[in-house]
A = this chain, B = another copy of it.
Amino acid sequence: MIKVGIIGATGYTGVELLRLLSQRDDVEIHVVTSRELAGQMVCSHFPNLRGHIELKFSGADSSLVKECDVVFFATPHAVAMHSVPSLIEAGVKIIDLSADFRIKNIALWESWYKTEHACPEFVKEAVYGLPEVNREAIRSARLIAVPGCYPTAIQLGFLPLLENNLIDSNRLIADAKSGVSGAGRKAVEDYLLCEATQSMKAYGVTGHRHHPEICEHLNLISASEVSLTFIPHLAPMIRGIFATLYAPLKDGVDMKLQQLQSVFEDRYVSEPFVEVLPTGELPATRDVKGSNKCIISVNYVESTRMIVVLSAEDNLVKGASGQAIQNMNLLFGLKENEGLDGIALLP
């Protein structure tokens, strides 16, 4: 029985961790913390959990946290980094869903997150929790930095192309559309139903924090320097990320769609949560609502020599909490898909 703690569980990644973990036989939810809601029943905050979880929120400094085998941080950035060193010292494994340990370049992280990093030495140690790239390192990690929602969908889409050196890595474009839950459960005017529904818009065009994260990790596997234009959009829906990825086929490379399809299929044939769609079938975010899958379609526009990869995931599952649990499963030697095979809710 794995003793689990969840820090800052009042948002959407928190409730999703609880949904996915609370019915497992091999996991005990030992403590769930919240600054504001300490003392309240978890299920009165998240009515879907009524009858499934009897816990109350504990305060952020609950002593129960150190008793856990593993602790998930579902906190805003710059929170986890203050607790991680002492928890690791206490022998607690850390799975951080926030941004604190995702970027190795400390200066870069500090410039984007506008604060000094509290424990840069742990950044070095942290394993980037994308199992499709770092599976072995994850198994023996003490500290896992779960990738962001955009970075997961985008990296999984570009990976096979970069690993095989098929594309012009300095002319990549990621046009990504996210559901509103990506903004979290914060009372902010922009995310009111009356503001966000029935509308599309772009945001963060002068820079988004996931950009340096994506580039750093793509560069680790790319033969040539990656240069990426990344434009995130807000789509009028609750869940889902749909990434449309544009990658020019390298000069001199001659490939047909069928071969590109094989490159993707070969790359992901053993991956439990990446599904390469048959040629001609296209993904939609509804196909993965509530599931831990990332579904990918490869397309090729001959007239412009442009490979167009479509990558869809549920931002709260494969883009956050589901992926975090996938990491936990690896960390504890469990079946990687344990508790993660739930089928998407359609319609």
Which residue of chain B lies nearest to A174 when distances are taken between CB atoms in the complex? B175
Question: CB < 8 Å: which of B47, B233, B284 contacts A177?
Answer: B233
Q: Which residue of B lies closest to A199 (CB)?
A: B286
Would you call B242 and A201 a contact (CB within 8 A)?
yes
Q: Which B residues lie within 8 Å of A239 (CB)?
A: 198, 347
From A202, A303, A310, name the one whose CB has the most chain B CB atoms within 10 angstroms. Answer: A202
Residues of B contacting A19 in the complex (Cβ-Cβ under 8 angstroms): 343, 345-346
Shortest distance from the beta carbon of A72 to any chain B beta carbon, whole Å: 17
Minimum Cβ distance to chain B for residue A114 (Å): 19
Cα distance A186–B300 in the bound complex, in angstroms: 30
Evaluate contact between A238 and B187: CB separation under 8 angstroms. no
A124 CB-CB contact with B under 8 Å: no
- Interface size on A, as a range, is 35 or more
What 1/0 mask marks residues of chain A from 290 to 308 whose CB sits below 8 Å from any chain B CB? 1101010001010110101
Within 8 A of B (CB), among A199-246: 199-203, 205-206, 227-229, 231, 233, 235-240, 242, 244, 246
Measured between C-beta atoms, what is the minimum distance from A174 to chain B in Å?
A: 10
Contact A288 B48 (CB under 8 A): yes
With a CB–CB cut-off of 8 A, which chain B residues contact A80? Answer: none
A173 pairs with B23, CB closer than 8 A = no
A203, B282: Cα distance in complex, Å: 7
Q: Is A252 in contact with chain B by the CB < 8 A criterion?
A: no
- A185 in contact (CB, < 8 A): yes
Min CB distance A7 to B, Å, is: 20
Check A96 for interface membership: any CB of B closer than 8 A. no
CA distance A299 to B202 in the complex (A): 11
Q: Which residues of B contact A282 (CB under 8 A)?
A: 201-203, 205
Residue A181 interfacial (CB < 8 Å): yes
A-B contact list, 9 entries, CB within 8 Å: A15-B347, A47-B287, A48-B288, A50-B295, A170-B304, A177-B200, A201-B282, A289-B345, A345-B345
